[in-house]
Amino acid sequence: MKLENITTMGKREKRSYDDACGAAHGLELLGERWAILIVRELMYGPKRFGELRAGLPGISANTLTQRLEGLEASRIVQRRKLPPPASAQIYELTEWGYEAEPIIQHLGKWATRSPDHDPTLPLSSASMIMSLKTMIDRRRSERVVGRFGFRFGEETFVGRLAHSAMQIWRGEIETVDTTFITDPTTLAAAVYGGVPLAELEASGKLRIEGDRALAERFVTLFPLPAKFV
């Protein structure tokens, strides 16, 4: 295995498996610690550096800088500067980068079968949204139709469920049937932990606006797969 070590600040360490398999090259592209999670965070639109760090609280600024540079060099991520008055630099996925979504979804669904997986750990907004798209159960949801809003602090998303397919995008919450106003970890407690919505509302961690019956139905549509034993 070749190993190219670059220790100067701002450059990356690149590992090659010397293997023609596409999976091997995929690990070269996304196998560095944090890389695949950075792609996940950008899956629903561009973010500034500080917003990426907020979604990945365990990453250091130096590591984030290095991973972004590596992903940019691999043409998975690109940088651009917003026009005035914002004039801020943002990071976003390339068209090819967005194609990684099903890879991350399948990896996540497979990994939830691990006995060591803990669904009570904190989640970012992007992680929760991707989880909903991934874990929707076709049989349970086949007769459920609706538009859903999700407000996590300043981040808002809109989802549409029809024909057992869940589509979610970042956007203003308009013309929806019901809205969840909460944080990602609390929503996960309702969806995956079975915590009653009324209990979360009483604690002040959740507010529901709109069709309450639809909200109650919605949180039952995402069963976790059985653990591997």
Domain at 109, CATH number: 3.30.1050.10
Residue 228 placed within a domain: no
Length of the chain: 229
> Under DSSP, is residue 229 helix (H, G, I), strand (E, B) or coil?
coil
Residue 73 placed within a domain: yes
How far is it, in rounded angstroms, from Cα 191 to Cα 188?
Answer: 5
Domain that holds residue 190: 105-218
At 198-216, the pLDDT tens digits run 999 999 999 999 999 999 9
Indicate the number of domains in the chain. 2
pLDDT of residue 120: 84
How far is it, in rounded angstroms, from Cα 201 to Cα 205?
Answer: 6
* 165 bridge partner residues: 162
Looking at residues 47-71, what average pLDDT do you find? 96
CB-count burial class (<10 Å; 0-12, 13-18, 19+) for 96: exposed
Q: Are residues 9 and 90 in the same domain?
A: yes
At 95-130, the pLDDT tens digits run 999 999 999 999 999 999 999 999 888 899 999 999
Whether the model clears a pTM of 0.75, i.e. scores above it, the answer is yes
Last residue within a domain, chosen from 76, 99, 122: 99
Residue 32 placed within a domain: yes
